[in-house]
Structure 1
Amino acid sequence: MENDAIASLKDLDPAYPVPAVYHFLLQPENQEFLDYVHKDPFGCHVFPGDIENYPLESFFSDMEQGIREAKQIHLWAYIPTCRYRCHFCQFPTVILNPESASAEGIFRDLVDYNIKEARMWLEKVPSLAKAEIGEFNIFGGTPSLLPEPELRRLMDFYYTHFNFSAATLRFEGEPGTLNREYLGILKELGFSKISFGTQSFNDAIIASSGRQHTADECEETIRCAREQGIDWVSVDLIYGMLGQTVDDVKYDIERILALDLSHVVCTKLHMEEFMKTRTGVSGERESLWQKKGLIRTNGMTFPGLGKQYQMRELVEKYLKGNYREHPTMYFHQNHREAEKWKGLITDLDKQYPEVAIGLGGSSKCTRAEAINITHYKQYKQYLDEGRLPIEKSHGISPGQREVNAFKMALSTLIPVDDSVFSKRFSGKSFLKNHIIKTTLEKLQEKKLVVIEQGVVTLTPVGTTLVEAIINTQFTLTDAGQE
């Protein structure tokens, strides 16, 4: 009897080729990969620390050292406000009506608390004030809900207290609020990059995911940004959404090419299994689709894994001539630079620290990591008590630093060069790390990587499954103890 994962994998569109990854995942010996991609909803990857209950003072000391040693860092602020919650969202948000009488006070508080947290970081990590910011991001949520006075107040603080001399500025919003006037304000404030979620260019699919904008509004936002002199525009597309077909994704990619977009993020979304078994908001509350029982709506169903990988191959096929993928899921035009902030934290010759200010932020360096509280009331309570709102922190042992560095490098899809690795680790080859060496032997046997003259390159199937490789391999359980 077939299990759910195999049945989902066999859900194929006969009008399109069987994806290359299909036969790999169908093999019983590769069950751990299939189980992962079937259960993981968002195709993301993490690089966790291995030392539990790491003292915060040690974390800040590690961040101080890491920032002092780094050429640049990534700094970001998180603004959690949204007008509504997208059905697929599992991020911490503060839902409000921006036109309501209470909204002004909420926005003021959000900026106040963000600034308060940033001041505390500057006290705890003195080198942060002088560190060269490579890129500054305002993520969300929907930061473009911030009223102009609050946005200007927030940016005045960051410009005054951090080193933006070499920084590029990137802003995240949504089509309903990134209008011509707001884009003009962003341009004036120094933002040269914007990103927003289109998710699809099919209005029925946009609506089924709970989004309150249209495809035309997305295209209008792109036009308005260009009119303001912002030609670096990144849009997020999702494949695997309710009601979506392989033909729909083909149309989405055709629109990307027609619009000549500089950057696009294509994210796998396997929501059906996630919604059946897990909660969607900070691990506590049900997502909107779960509450309303909207696994199937108006005859719409989720595409299975087989169709999702057909969609992935279609994305690769259509973008191959004009775009490069770096890191995984992030595509940029050949004549453009890749996403700078991603390169700062994942490229093997960098992997610099990042500092996140705001609800649910994640800050890290090579030696330690910390994750902020995701509940807004608790977040404010910590700051009111004079404490940074950090929920948990981990240290990273010397051996795990090597493993994380290798995994990050693998996620970029750039071949991992041992000569670059050895420069990072005092002449040590990655093959001298028992976990990396043993895992690479396994991956090579499965034909997920090729190793030639000290350079590790993902095969096409390995590229498709890179998140599964990163999140299921490179463990002591698989590699054994030294």
Structure 2
Amino acid sequence: MIQAAYLHIPFCSQICYYCDFNKVFFKGQPVNEYLQAIETEMEQTVVRYPTQKLDTIFVGGGTPTVLEMDQLDFFLNAIHKRLPFTAGEVEFTFEANPNELSREKLQLLKDAGVNRLSFGVQTFDHELLKKIGRTHRRDDVFQIIGIAQDIGFANISVDLMYGLPGQTLPQLRDSLNMAFALNIQHISAYSLIVEPKTVFYNLMRKGKLSLPSQEEEANMYEVIMEEMEKNGYKQYEISNYTRPGFESHHNLTYWSNEEYYGFGAGAHSYVAGMRNANAGPIKKYIDLVEKTGEAYIERHVVTEQEQKEEEMFLGLRKIEGISKQRFMEKFHCPVHEVFHEPIEQEKQKGLLEETETHIRLTHQGKLLGNEVFQAFIGVI
């Protein structure tokens, strides 16, 4: 049963140098037509692949809050009309940039049932913000989160990044301390990955991108884990930390390898045993939805072998790891029957450990997660 939906708003007022998500500049785009198309896609998809009730809705981008008030109101109403959920019983998240929100927009979101905000902060260091193409400043973060808390938002997350060009450990510690001072419920901390088709990728190819060494980046990750624990944030996934009871249920859907809707240009979905990718270009997306009610350009039936592999490399991202009982219930065979060899190999390397109920990454395994995940691909 599908219990999660992701909606993609691809518009931005500024393109960050590291971002490889599907996005375009807001000005001059057919925004109203796009919002109508995403409503149509929601309506038609739920008819084709019905579900009883969603537990989590996540609106990402791009920058969803770049929408003007009337556009945002239309979009929120469309979500209420087309998706099956009960207000107050769903985790309803909106991504936002700190300097692109007003009290009025926040109140509109709150009134529409949005109860979780995820702010793209990345760093509190002004020079680093300039280096990565961000337009907000430290004060913007404190101001808008203060307003959100005043309005009544009690589930707020911020994204931080480490391994940024020229970033030092003192700069990272300063950003962590600033995040802790916000008194928020959730923090994500991701290492910079230089992706193709980004400004950073082009700079790297020209030899103009100076990044911390692998050892420095590993030290940063160690510091993040230590400081989060000291300040009351429990690590529940490789890059995510929470106060008790505020885990991201939406992201847990992905890591638990469950199915989910994906709406909007460039969105991905996993429904009826198929992983799907929507058209990315805005006009192509709108045209496809108008003609067929959907925008798939890629469809892949996930084999049982792939499901088992995904169960491992997604589930091992969670700090609790893979539940042996859940694997048995899902695939009707013990996890060791399928993956005994890679499990034992990674345990011998000191990267995996096993309890009576779970298989999980060790501390060293967290530092070398991608190496561990790779061990479970193509072994069946």
Length-normalised TM-score, structure 1? 0.74
Match of 1:230 in 2: 153
Residue 341 of structure 2 corresponds to residue 438 of structure 1 = yes
Contact 1:74 1:135 in 2 (8 A): yes
What is the SS of the residue equivalent to 2:59?
Answer: strand
| Alpha-carbon distance in 2 for matches of 1:232, 1:144 | 17
Contact 2:233 2:241 in 1 (8 A): yes
Match of 1:363 in 2: 269
| Alpha-carbon distance in 1 for matches of 2:321, 2:62 | 34
Match of 1:78 in 2: 8
| Residue 451 (structure 1) aligned to one of 342, 350, 354 | 354
| Alpha-carbon distance in 2 for matches of 1:341, 1:325 | 16
**AA at the equivalent of 1:451:** E
| Alpha-carbon distance in 1 for matches of 2:362, 2:203 | 41
Equivalent runs, 1:179-328 vs 2, <5 Å: 179-271=102-194, 279-280=196-197, 287=199, 290=202, 296=208, 301-321=210-230, 322-328=232-238
Note the C-alpha offset of 1:116.
2.0
Contact 1:366 1:401 in 2 (8 A): no
List runs of 5+ in structure 1 lacking aligned partners.
Answer: 1-69, 282-286
| Alpha-carbon distance in 1 for matches of 2:18, 2:279 | 21
Residue 296 of structure 2 corresponds to residue 401 of structure 1 = no
| Alpha-carbon distance in 1 for matches of 2:150, 2:93 | 17
| Alpha-carbon distance in 1 for matches of 2:352, 2:66 | 44
**AA at the equivalent of 1:325:** Q
Contact 2:320 2:358 in 1 (8 A): no
Match of 1:173 in 2: 96
What is the SS of the residue equivalent to 1:320?
Answer: helix
**AA at the equivalent of 1:246:** L
Note the C-alpha offset of 1:332.
0.6
| Residue 158 (structure 1) aligned to one of 79, 86, 92 | 79
Aligned residues with identical type, % of pairs: 19
| Alpha-carbon distance in 1 for matches of 2:236, 2:120 | 19
Equivalent runs, 1:53-72 vs 2, <5 Å: 70=1
What is the SS of the residue equivalent to 2:266?
Answer: coil
| Alpha-carbon distance in 2 for matches of 1:225, 1:337 | 17
| Alpha-carbon distance in 2 for matches of 1:448, 1:139 | 33
Residue 54 of structure 2 corresponds to residue 133 of structure 1 = yes
What is the SS of the residue equivalent to 2:292?
Answer: coil
Higher relative CO (Cα under 8 Å, sequence separation at least 6) belongs to 1
Note the C-alpha offset of 1:387.
5.4
List runs of 5+ in structure 2 lacking aligned partners.
Answer: none
Length-normalised TM-score, structure 2? 0.93
**AA at the equivalent of 2:152:** G
Give me the CA root mean square deviation.
2.1
Equivalent runs, 1:86-105 vs 2, <5 Å: 86-97=16-27, 102=28
Contact 1:325 1:331 in 2 (8 A): yes
Note the C-alpha offset of 1:464.
2.2
What is the SS of the residue equivalent to 2:135?
Answer: coil
Note the C-alpha offset of 1:141.
0.5
| Alpha-carbon distance in 2 for matches of 1:407, 1:293 | 30
- Note closer, same or farther for the CA distance 1:208–1:83 as it changes in structure 2 (3 Å cut): same
What is the SS of the residue equivalent to 2:308?
Answer: helix
Contact 1:142 1:172 in 2 (8 A): yes
Residue 30 of structure 2 corresponds to residue 113 of structure 1 = no
- Which whole-Å deviations, capped at 9, do the CAs of 1:231-270 have from their partners, x for residues lacking one? 2111110101122111111111111222222111100114
Match of 1:8 in 2: none
Match of 2:298 in 1: 392
| Alpha-carbon distance in 2 for matches of 1:453, 1:291 | 48
- Which whole-Å deviations, capped at 9, do the CAs of 1:352-385 have from their partners, x for residues lacking one? 3210100111111483211112222322232233
- Paired residues, number: 377
What is the SS of the residue equivalent to 1:413?
Answer: coil
| Alpha-carbon distance in 1 for matches of 2:92, 2:36 | 21
- Which whole-Å deviations, capped at 9, do the CAs of 1:98-143 have from their partners, x for residues lacking one? xxxx46xx22122112112222313322x24xx2111111111011
